[in-house]
């Protein structure tokens, strides 16, 4: 699975917003400030924040001192919500839909032999991102979903 630029930039910008909002005791943060710090195009950021606002993740404030604030606390804002808000599916399969019906990735519309593997991997990724809040990212409290075991040879 590959996370696109849209998803990565949205997470970067929301994390920056949360940090600046905490530092300024809730003051709205201008997108131009975030764009400069994160080296993201302002026009691209405006498109992303329009989607984040429509999904209820940020609140906009107009006028002098305007900008954006998180709609919920950073402890209640999860990475999966941000990625999904900018229309990034968290799927690892190539399968799609035709006329609303599921369609497999093979030429005849059937599922490939490894479909279950990729589908479960997508669920695991979504579950992990749904367990990580923006506050966790800011504090560096990222934990593995499950410790890896290395087989002895």
How much is the pTM? Answer: 0.81
Mean pLDDT throughout 111-137? 86
144 token code pair = 């593995």
Taking alpha carbons only, the member of 61, 79, 1, 10 closest to residue 38 is: 10
Q: Which position has the higher pLDDT, 30 or 145?
A: 30
49 phi/psi in degrees, rounded to 5: -70, -25
Q: Which position has the higher pLDDT, 27 or 54?
A: 54
Structure confidence at residue 94 (pLDDT): 63
Q: Where exactly are the structural domains of the chain?
A: 5-139
Q: 67 pairs with which residues across the strands?
A: 61
Q: Is the pLDDT of residue 150 over 80?
A: no
129 token code pair = 């991102």
Mean pLDDT throughout 20-41? 91
> Any residues with CB less than 8 A from the CB of 92 and at least 6 apart, and which?
1, 118, 119, 121, 122, 125
What fold, for 5-139? Answer: Arc Repressor Mutant, subunit A (1.10.10)
- pLDDT tens-digit profile of 70-108? 999 999 999 999 999 997 666 666 665 555 555 666 767
What pLDDT band is residue 124 in, cutting at 50, 70 and 90?
A: confident
């Amino acid at each position: 699975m590959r996370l696109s630029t849209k998803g990565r930039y949205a997470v970067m910008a929301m994390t920056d917003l949360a940090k600046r909002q905490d530092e300024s005791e809730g003051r709205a943060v201008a997108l131009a400030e975030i764009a400069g710090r994160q080296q993201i195009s302002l026009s691209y950021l405006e498109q992303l924040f329009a989607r984040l606002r429509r999904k209820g993740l940020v609140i906009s404030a107009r006028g002098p001192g305007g900008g954006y604030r998180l709609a919920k606390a950073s402890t209640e804002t999860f990475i999966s919500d941000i990625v999904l808000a900018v229309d990034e599916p968290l799927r690892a399969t190539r399968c799609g839909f035709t006329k609303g019906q599921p369609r497999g990735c093979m030429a005849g519309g059937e599922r490939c032999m490894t479909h279950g593997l990729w589908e479960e991997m997508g669920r695991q990724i979504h579950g992990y991102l749904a367990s990580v809040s923006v506050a966790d990212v800011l504090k560096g409290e990222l934990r593995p979903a499950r410790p890896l075991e290395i087989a002895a040879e």
